[in-house]
Amino acid sequence: MIGKLGVALGVLWLLSMTAAEAAQAQAPGRNSANPGATKLTLVQALVCEEVKDGIPSNPAIAFSISVGKIYCYTLFDQVAEDTFVYHHWFFRDKPSARIRLTVKHPRWSTFSSIQLREADKGPWRVEIIDAAGRTIKSLRFSVTD
Amino acid sequence: MENVLQFISGFRWQDVVDIGLNSYILFRFYVLFRGTYVFRVLIGLTMLWFFQQMASYMGLIVTSWVVQGIVAVAALIIVVVFRNEIRSVLQARNFRTILWGFTAKTRIAPIEIIAESAFELARRRHGALIVIPGDEDVQEMIQSGIAWNGDISREMILSIFYPDNPVHDGAALIEGDRVDRVGVILPLSRREDLPSYLGTRHRAALGLTEATDALVIVVSEQRGEVSVAKGLRLQEVENQHLLAERIEEHFGIADEQQRLPAKKERVEVTTAALVSLLFITGFWFSISRGLETLVTFDVPIEYQNRNPNMEIVHASVNAVRVNLSGSGTLVKSTRADQVRVKLDLSTASAGQNDFAVTSANISLPPGLVLKNVSPQTIVVDLDVTVKKELPVQVDWSGRLNENLILAEATVDPARVEISGGKRILENLQTIYTEKIPLDRLREGAGLLEVPLAIQPASLKAASGSNEKVAVKYLTRKRE
């Protein structure tokens, strides 16, 4: 079961990488420093206990393990064209999850989440990375008792 | 035969030097201090020590303790009481004398003056007794006397024994080149085989020489003769030249111009040299060739010649176990810090380096032999030292009040510069603080000062960087 899931995730990751490269290839010259990057503005980024009807609730920087699930919410504006971003979750500097999220023109909010386990207590960070691989924002928080 | 060959093959040139050097030191001690009280007391102490060893061996507990105590205190007394004698030996004599010279036992009295004065006294028929001590102390054998302390001269000797002088009946005691005391009373000989014509003066001379190694010159008042008493013998001396020869013989001077040890003294010195050699050889064998004993030490590794631009990230072990063998005495007296294991890092490069631990890396006290070392290979991981600026993240722990939410926190400084191994820092993205318990946070804003938890230990804050940060936080009520 885990093996199949791993293969599926691997395929997804490969596809997303291919899509990212394709996106970079389709939008040349927009930003000379970051070729392939679609113009977008990050309006809001936070980690919260819940996202209900597209609205984050109880944003914080420390979460009890008893919450069960936490979310990384991001709101983009001035999105020039449809693109995507990554929410890259790190636990103690070690990659934990890399989630590809679509961002649509002209304003878009999106979120990713992780399920918390007992072993997840400690310092975390989520890096929001654009299609060109540029880190737009880092959110740091802790999972505690 | 095989044992003998094995014994000889195990004998190093250092051992020969060791025995020879210490034998010579002991021998020189004898030469420098012979005839003094120091040497006699040392002999006494050695006998006490031997007695204590015997008492200990025989299981005489109290006797052993008492003698041990006496020996311990006596060693201190020697240094304090005989400091002048020790100082005079070490200071008054030159370097050559201390190392290999042979001096006469005492300062030499002006022999010619004494001989000439004796015959002048005989010619004048003035009775006289002149005592010239040998190695032994005569103070216990003589009585009364008046301190004189005058340089020897013909006139002085003649005046001492001048018949009207109140002290002329006693003996004059010569010490070195001075007349030490006059009017000294000597013990009388109790021998019955002495000729009847010998008077009290001659009996007194023999009384002292029978008990000590002193030489006494007797000038007969009645017959105007000069005699010399030495040991049990009393001999008349014909002339001044023969008297001088007898005195020189007494001092152990074979030739007037050359102060070489006399034949008797040469025998004594040779015997002392042989005894020193035998004693040290026996002592050496008892220490270094005793019953073989094994001992194990855990010795921390010392790294040397490390490139200052590199640092040790990790070593497979911090200490090695060293198995040694040697005589029981040596093993018992060996401390762990006398065994050292050194690794030369001058040839090491960044990354993992394997070093074999051999006898060349281990320094041991003399006499001990390396039997085994474990592990025999040490892996040392080295890395180039670099600096890197990293963001600081607060490591919250515990459980916050259920009605509160930790909404914000800022760290000052937000980034710190860390110094350490390049490979470690390459993979390091964040520096965390020590854990901050959430339990103690209350509603509202607050400020905490927290130390950084810089891991691994090989990393450290670069100079100028704080190892503590200020954390401003804000909690608010849960909606």
Question: Is residue A33 helix, strand or coil?
Answer: coil
Q: Can you give the CATH number for the domain in which A36 is found?
A: 2.60.40.2550
Q: Which residues contact B443 (CB under 8 A, 6 or more apart)?
A: B401, B404, B475, B476, B477
Residue range(s) of every CATH 3.40.1700.10 domain in chain B:
111-251
Question: Considering only CB atoms, which residues of chain B are within 8 Å of chain A?
Answer: 391, 393-400, 405-409, 427-430, 432, 438, 478-479
Whether the CB-CB separation of B247 and B230 falls below 8 Å is answered with: no
Kind and range of the H or E run holding B15: helix B13-33
Write out the two tokens for B199. Answer: 């008077």
A17 touching B (Cβ < 8 Å): no
A144 touching B (Cβ < 8 Å): yes
Write out the two tokens for A52. Answer: 């209900």
The Cα–Cα gap between B231 and B214 comes to: 8
Are β-strands B340-344 and B415-421 bridged in parallel, bridged antiparallel, or unpaired? unpaired
Judged by CB atoms closer than 8 Å, whether chains meet at A90 and B427 is answered as: no
Judged by CB atoms closer than 8 Å, whether chains meet at B406 and A60 is answered as: yes
**C-alpha distance across the termini of chain A, in Å:** 30
- Whether the per-residue pLDDT at B48 is higher than 90: the answer is no
Whether the CB-CB separation of B469 and B433 falls below 8 Å is answered with: yes
pLDDT tens figures, B142-191: 877 888 888 888 888 989 999 888 888 889 998 888 888 899 999 888 87
Task: Give the residue, B158 or B252, on which the prediction is more confident.
Answer: B158
- Number of neighbours of residue B127 by Cβ within 10 angstroms: 19
Q: With left for phi above 0 and alpha for psi between -120 and 50, is residue B30 left, alpha or beta?
A: alpha
Predicted complex ipTM exceeds 0.85 = no
Measure B315 CA to nearest chain A CA, in Å: 25
A58 touching B (Cβ < 8 Å): yes
The Cα–Cα gap between B31 and B57 comes to: 33
Chain B contacts of A138, Cβ < 8 Å? Answer: 391
pLDDT tens figures, B373-422: 999 999 998 888 899 999 999 999 999 999 999 999 999 999 999 988 88
Chain B contacts of A121, Cβ < 8 Å? Answer: 397
Judged by CB atoms closer than 8 Å, whether chains meet at A64 and B397 is answered as: no
A91 touching B (Cβ < 8 Å): no
Residue range(s) of every CATH 2.170.120.30 domain in chain B:
292-383
The Cα–Cα gap between A38 and A23 comes to: 9
Q: For the domain covering B111-251, report its CATH number.
A: 3.40.1700.10
Q: What percent of chain B has pLDDT over 90?
A: 27
| Fold designation for B385-477 | RNA Polymerase Alpha Subunit; Chain A, domain 2 (2.170.120)
Judged by CB atoms closer than 8 Å, whether chains meet at A61 and B409 is answered as: yes
Are β-strands A62-64 and B369-374 bridged in parallel, bridged antiparallel, or unpaired? unpaired
The Cα–Cα gap between A50 and A38 comes to: 29
Whether the CB-CB separation of B422 and B385 falls below 8 Å is answered with: yes
Compute the half-sphere exposure of residue B311: CA atoms within 13 Å on the CB side of its CA. Answer: 16
Place of tokens 């041990």: B68
Measure B412 CA to nearest chain A CA, in Å: 15
Which residue out of B396, B402, B425, B441 would a mutagenesis test of the A interface target, given it has the greatest number of A Cβ atoms within 10 Å? B396
- Facing residue for B399 by CB, picked from A57, A59, A145: A145
Tell me the residue ranges of DSSP E strands in B289-430. Answer: 292-304, 310-315, 319-327, 340-344, 351-356, 362-363, 369-374, 377-397, 404-412, 415-421
- Facing residue for B405 by CB, picked from A60, A125, A144: A60
Query: B237-246, B407-416, B462-471: lowest mean pLDDT where?
Result: B462-471
A64 touching B (Cβ < 8 Å): yes
Largest CA distance in chain A: 48
**Based on the structure, what is the number of domains in chain A?**
1
Judged by CB atoms closer than 8 Å, whether chains meet at B406 and A62 is answered as: yes
Whether the CB-CB separation of B71 and B45 falls below 8 Å is answered with: yes
Measure A29 CA to nearest chain B CA, in Å: 31
CATH architecture observed for domain B292-383: Beta Complex (2.170)
Quick one: B108 exposed, middle or buried, by C-beta within 10 A (0-12, 13-18, 19+)? Answer: middle
Task: Give the residue, B67 or B276, on which the prediction is more confident.
Answer: B276
Residue range(s) defining the domain that contains residue A61? 2-144
Judged by CB atoms closer than 8 Å, whether chains meet at A93 and B394 is answered as: no
Q: What is the pTM of this model?
A: 0.46
Whether the CB-CB separation of B339 and B324 falls below 8 Å is answered with: yes
The Cα–Cα gap between B345 and B312 comes to: 10
Q: Which chain A residue is nearest to residue B395, measuring alpha carbons?
A: A123
